[in-house]
Structure 1
């Protein structure tokens, strides 16, 4: 007879992560798969528009198939079967949460951009096509732009000092500030670059992904997941490649890839003709070439500027100075493998905050896992969600001004 296990899920815009836990909360298996809803668009807005146009059932079916694939892989790794899963819980941003249930999405596309019901729900597995014998507890939402994934991230953390900033870096960048016993939260549309999406040689973090780039002498040294031959570049690899390229003079402060003649070192040999300009060649063999193209740098700039501006605006709203922040907790697509030097060079955050960064891998998944093994976990999660005060940024003049100012490196 197989022992009962619990299933934790983080349903992201670009990728889905999962974890199987025993009754003591120990991890038995962990994994991730791409979110193939990307065929309808890399960002949630395009997917919401596709759902409103009549593709909601298709978007749900794709997502459920991805979850089933993920769960099947976890069960195989743990030597278990679906009947052994006793409880399951998932966290997602508002758009993915509604698409998972195939609920109407109009409320997220028109003011005031808030679902009719933000409460936690139990999703019956057989009603959506999940290959499970138990329902899935879906974390509560805060409003139309802050979801259960941020609630899960915050729930998984120890009691914060004041003031502490929490940043979940992903396609939908979510930001929270804890100060004087109050929670302020917001989100920004960062786009998929942080997760390797819409990047020419981009891929999710996994075997073969370039996750780090350093300079030794006059050459690039690549840090590749599992030490395999490079297959592409994930979010942290993109950020570090951009950082070292800025240091080496291959990219200027405005984000333009320069010509080889403008570079004084032998690192100029990594610049190769591409389109109307140049690209940075990270790796080449007989079968493939891994490039950082100009459009990749631009996509990264848009993503990092959105997060930087979101942080500045949230702090301004709460009347907190960057120098006052006791700690910055960074999670998401690339946080755990990105150096603080690269973080500072690409200006993802205000420079004087970087030394106070603590990286927390898999923050949302850790929070879902914690909820599953705590007896009153659901009650605690729902109590926390009620304390989060949302601050919408979309379209605000303050955000637009801060965003433009944060584009350069």
Structure 2
């Protein structure tokens, strides 16, 4: 017989059979609570209060619960079963409060519950009288420590098990993935050391994070240029290249997996840990990078209707795709949303928290391909636009990445009547990075040196940004046009999503901006050029690499992993190429800030005031 049980303070209701303990029912209902022994009745941590009929006190409860707690009505969830409909309330000390963790600048309450864990066991060696095989002996030892329904061992772990048990004098630590698969055994007690890695494969670079899975701390990050760059700065160029032959696709797959492996080895070497300590890796990337990594030919992503091979998450051994790291580790690739909105966008949404927010939120992950999100907990709509690599410095004569010597800030000093700039690490100027380009174009427009179409008013063909003995750094008409093309694609995507949801800029409560240089953009200048809507700056927040942050969250938390699946399944994708209004909106968005002045009233007020002042 099953009884209806209300669980407080979560407010959930579960059906629990009279043959089940409350521990079993709470676990099945996905309620998080303290249980150091896994329901074995040895720790005394799963304390609850029960209103309703239930089984009598057990001898274990009388041993583990002190008299004051017994008198107050405490019970142990693993020892008691329901005999009627009832209410079970978790004791305050039993509830698992979420840990507040700061990842990549985002502070989040995160349930640290990784998919991989370790269990230390001490076993009795076999003998003539007790010849039980090694695996069965180990499995029984684990079950004495942890409550598991089913337990298997991977072929790789099994092949090394006999030697490991004997090398450790039958005192070993097991690494268990998803609470049902032993993936490794190690001599001695190594439960204090369990690492994971998150990897964000971008179009132009790969970022890896080394994470302590016991406490959620990011130990180190490492960045590597995406080795696929010589075969195209954009995704379509790489897909076109590999359409020529299977060998060319295999080549791109191999150099990508080698690049990811190298990035992981680098982050381990820099932190002083062996790569063998990594037991799970979460990898995100756009859908094309996702397919290249998994060995899936991406040609159908380039052909209408742009359908990916799979949406669901993928779990496998890293060696199956050619990653050269710990052979015992697990590889988790979160779900994609659409052909041009990949697992990196899913990770963005996990980090941004739009799926749990009441506020209408506009989210952007700005890069070579920019993902745009609009919505709240009711519904999220998304699209992807080819904004191009201009903000990474490509196609700009003096453009460069955000490295030492790049001009990252540019402004007009009213007091000195002169132009000023700042470079990364205060080194001599070598070029202009993305945030610097936005500043320069915004200042030229604001001061009346270029018009709304982006043309120089004076007939000049370029603007001198910096002149020194080491050479001149300029921004010319072609460079300005590249910035306009990039920002127009992004703004047009935002506009189409707003039209789809019958919203205007006034309906947006906040704007979240992610991307390689997101933290360094001046929000006022981003509005002046029309990159983002004309909203108060206090509504705008920069998140840095949200995709990497989301990947770390998915690595650390089973709850975040489940959210990723729900997000991918529930997010509505809009294909911009199929939208009749997109081309018109794109052409209007080429203007600074937009052809329709009514869309940017605050920007035009600022520009008109600045033009009156001039620039000396």
Q: TM-score when scaled to structure 2?
A: 0.61
Q: Give the equivalent residue in structure 1 for 2:584.
A: 401
Q: Give the equivalent residue in structure 1 for 2:123.
A: none
**1:226 deviation in Å?**
2.2
Deviates most, 66-75 or 90-99? 66-75
Q: Choose from 321, 324, 343 the match for 2:504.
A: 321
Q: Give the equivalent residue in structure 1 for 2:133.
A: none
Deviates most, 350-359 or 39-48? 350-359
Deviates most, 41-50 or 227-236? 227-236
Q: Give the equivalent residue in structure 2 for 1:345.
A: 528
Give the alignment of 1:384-395 within 5 angstroms: 384-395=567-578
Give the alignment of 1:98-177 within 5 angstroms: 98-122=291-315, 124-133=317-326, 134-158=329-353, 159-177=356-374
Q: Give the equivalent residue in structure 1 for 2:423.
A: 224
What secondary structure is seen at the aligned counterpart in 2 of 1:175? strand
The 1:209/1:138 distance shift into structure 2, 3 A limit, reads: farther
- Higher relative CO (Cα under 8 Å, sequence separation at least 6) belongs to 1
Equivalent pair of 2:449/2:456 in contact (CA under 8 Å): yes
Q: Give the equivalent residue in structure 1 for 2:387.
A: 190
Equivalent pair of 2:296/2:309 in contact (CA under 8 Å): no
Instruction: Find the aligned partners of 1:354 and 1:48 in 2 and give their Cα distance.
Output: 39
Instruction: Find the aligned partners of 1:15 and 1:88 in 2 and give their Cα distance.
Output: 18
**1:123 deviation in Å?**
5.1
Gaps (5+ residues) in structure 1? 263-276
**1:401 deviation in Å?**
0.7
**1:208 deviation in Å?**
2.7
Give the alignment of 1:5-20 within 5 angstroms: 5-20=195-210
Instruction: Find the aligned partners of 2:400 and 2:258 in 1 and give their Cα distance.
Output: 20
Matched, 1:51 2:242: yes
Instruction: Find the aligned partners of 2:359 and 2:288 in 1 and give their Cα distance.
Output: 31
**1:95 deviation in Å?**
1.2
What secondary structure is seen at the aligned counterpart in 2 of 1:114? coil
List per-residue Cα deviations over 1:110-136 (Å, max 9, x = no partner). 221111312211354334432311243
Instruction: Find the aligned partners of 2:211 and 2:443 in 1 and give their Cα distance.
Output: 39
Instruction: Find the aligned partners of 1:72 and 1:198 in 2 and give their Cα distance.
Output: 32
Instruction: Find the aligned partners of 1:283 and 1:69 in 2 and give their Cα distance.
Output: 37
Instruction: Find the aligned partners of 2:521 and 2:283 in 1 and give their Cα distance.
Output: 26
Instruction: Find the aligned partners of 2:218 and 2:403 in 1 and give their Cα distance.
Output: 19
Gaps (5+ residues) in structure 2? 1-189, 593-616
What secondary structure is seen at the aligned counterpart in 1 of 2:230? helix
Q: Give the equivalent residue in structure 2 for 1:267.
A: none
Instruction: Find the aligned partners of 1:322 and 1:27 in 2 and give their Cα distance.
Output: 37
Instruction: Find the aligned partners of 1:404 and 1:215 in 2 and give their Cα distance.
Output: 30
List per-residue Cα deviations over 1:152-171 (Å, max 9, x = no partner). 01101243233111111111
**1:330 deviation in Å?**
0.8
List per-residue Cα deviations over 1:244-297 (Å, max 9, x = no partner). 2222333322112454xx6xxxxxxxxxxxxxx632333344444433232221
Q: Choose from 434, 438, 455 the match for 1:235.
A: 434
**1:180 deviation in Å?**
6.1
Q: Choose from 197, 202, 211 the match for 1:21.
A: 211
List per-residue Cα deviations over 1:20-76 (Å, max 9, x = no partner). 121222221123222232222221111111122222122223323332333233223
Of Structure 1 and Structure 2, the greater helix share is in 1
Q: TM-score when scaled to structure 1?
A: 0.89
Instruction: Find the aligned partners of 2:374 and 2:292 in 1 and give their Cα distance.
Output: 28
Equivalent pair of 1:161/1:327 in contact (CA under 8 Å): no
Instruction: Find the aligned partners of 1:41 and 1:63 in 2 and give their Cα distance.
Output: 13
Deviates most, 385-394 or 242-251? 242-251
The 1:195/1:98 distance shift into structure 2, 3 A limit, reads: same
Equivalent pair of 2:357/2:377 in contact (CA under 8 Å): no
Pairs aligned (count): 393
**1:183 deviation in Å?**
1.2
**1:356 deviation in Å?**
1.9
Instruction: Find the aligned partners of 2:295 and 2:419 in 1 and give their Cα distance.
Output: 46
The 1:122/1:226 distance shift into structure 2, 3 A limit, reads: farther
Q: Choose from 54, 69, 82 the match for 2:262.
A: 69
Instruction: Find the aligned partners of 2:502 and 2:370 in 1 and give their Cα distance.
Output: 21
Equivalent pair of 2:207/2:223 in contact (CA under 8 Å): yes
Give the alignment of 1:360-379 within 5 angstroms: 360-379=543-562
Equivalent pair of 1:344/1:354 in contact (CA under 8 Å): no
What secondary structure is seen at the aligned counterpart in 2 of 1:351? coil
Equivalent pair of 2:206/2:226 in contact (CA under 8 Å): yes
Instruction: Find the aligned partners of 1:61 and 1:281 in 2 and give their Cα distance.
Output: 43
Instruction: Find the aligned partners of 1:324 and 1:27 in 2 and give their Cα distance.
Output: 37
How big is the alpha-carbon RMSD for the aligned residues of Structure 1 and Structure 2? 2.1
Instruction: Find the aligned partners of 1:255 and 1:91 in 2 and give their Cα distance.
Output: 37
Deviates most, 143-152 or 79-88? 79-88
